[in-house]
Copies of this chain bind each other. A is one copy, B any other.
Amino acid sequence: MYDDPVGDATSALRDHEARRIIEAVVLAATDPVEPSLLAQLVELPVARIEELCAELAEEYFASGRGFVLVRIAGGYRYQTHPELAPYVERFVLEGQHARLSGPAFETLAIVAYKQPISRGQISAIRGVDVESVLRTLLQRGYVEEVGRDPGPGNAVLYGTTREFLERLGLDSLASLPPLGDFVPGPEVVESLERGLRVSDQPVPSSDEPGPATG
């Protein structure tokens, strides 16, 4: 962009130095490092930090390193390459997390998408009492109290934690797949509708016998 070769060289040097600082700081961190913090240390704009981190990540990936640089829970961190899981697992046994049960995941999904939400509201969606499941989620640090319902009863409201983002490998709640992706397709809706049809007169679309699903 500039014709000044010295300026170019200087900025290349700066970038190289900035990358080294990012590498050192992220390596020393125990939690994901926010780009704003890196920007302060390196004295570059946040946007530039993001670019440099993306370049680093790409570089590691391209040269087949055993680690990756990822953006998680709003920051950058090093983690092992997923392909090497079998080796790492053999070495770091205690890193293994206890699996959550299916119902626990359903409750977690409801909290994730509907937060802040009360226990009663979760129960209403699931059709079962969720107390013990919610307790498990609280204990494992996936979910936390985030406030109180201002309405009568002042029910405790729950939301997901930073730990939740880390465990799912998400940068933020915005990176959750949109809930709309999971709304049942027309064929499921139709079969549910038919299953609960009140009158025996066939619904126009289901007149022809034969499964509607493919």
Contact = CB atoms under 8 A, between A and B. Distances in A.
Interface stretch (A4-12, A84-92, A152-160, A170-178): A84-92
| Most B-side CB within 10 Å, residue of A41, A91, A92, A141 | A91
A101 B184 contact: no
Chain copies in the assembled complex: 2
A79 B163 CA distance: 25
A136 B202 CA distance: 14
Interface string A3-37: 00000000000001001111111011111010001
A48 interface: no
B21 A66 contact: yes
A133 interface: yes
Interface string A105-128: 110000000000000000000111
Interface string A69-85: 00000000011110110
**Chain A interface main SS type:** helix
B25 A87 contact: yes
A131 to B, nearest CB: 4
Interface string A156-197: 000001010000000000000000000011011001000110
27 contacts: A20-B83, A20-B84, A21-B84, A21-B87, A24-B80, A25-B80, A25-B92, A27-B78, A28-B91, A31-B99, A37-B91, A98-B129, A101-B200, A101-B206, A102-B144, A102-B163, A102-B208, A104-B200, A106-B139, A128-B139, A133-B199, A135-B199, A136-B199, A136-B200, A185-B214, A191-B214, A213-B214
Interface of A: 16, 19-25, 27-31, 33, 37, 40-42, 64-67, 78-81, 83-84, 87-88, 90-92, 94-99, 101-106, 126-129, 131-133, 135-136, 139-141, 144, 161, 163, 184-185, 187-188, 191, 195-196, 199-200, 203-206, 208, 210, 213-214
